[in-house]
Amino acid sequence: MAEHSLQRVGVIGAGVMGSGISQSLAAAGYTTTCTDISRKALERARQDAEEGRFGLAGAVARGKLSAQQAEAARGRIHWTSELVEAAGADLVIECIPEKLEQKVRLFRRLDRLAAPGAILASNT
């Protein structure tokens, strides 16, 4: 079996789960792209991940991350409304609402956009 070098992760959906997953991946050292069709959702997710109680600043306050680690994690997260940017990752995690038709439509698009060998996953 071939080894898979996971470096870039795409997260589709910037709700509570998508934002938290993006933040956790970036804190773990992965270059992470979080995308959502709503720019408002992306901005809220960015603020929560950076400044929210359970965000990177909160992790520093609780002693879970150093200020340098949090800053590095901030630099590893890219927030975008362009699906193609997240779809180009080694691992793509779907975190959209629990509506089967939307999920099927998204995975059909991801199947066309994702790189060969990319792992497509669902949060649910």
pLDDT of residue 4: 57
Regarding the domain delimited by 8-122, which CATH topology (the fold level of the hierarchy) does it fall under? Rossmann fold (3.40.50)
Locate 13 and state its tokens: 């959906």
pLDDT of residue 33: 97
Exposure string of 75-100, with b = 16+ CB inside 10 Å and e = fewer, is: ebbbbbeebebbbebbbbbbbbeeee
pLDDT of residue 5: 81
pLDDT of residue 124: 79
Q: Where are the domains of the chain?
A: 8-122
pLDDT average per 10 residues of sequence, the chain (124 residues) = 75 95 96 96 95 92 96 97 94 96 96 94 91
pTM, full prediction: 0.92
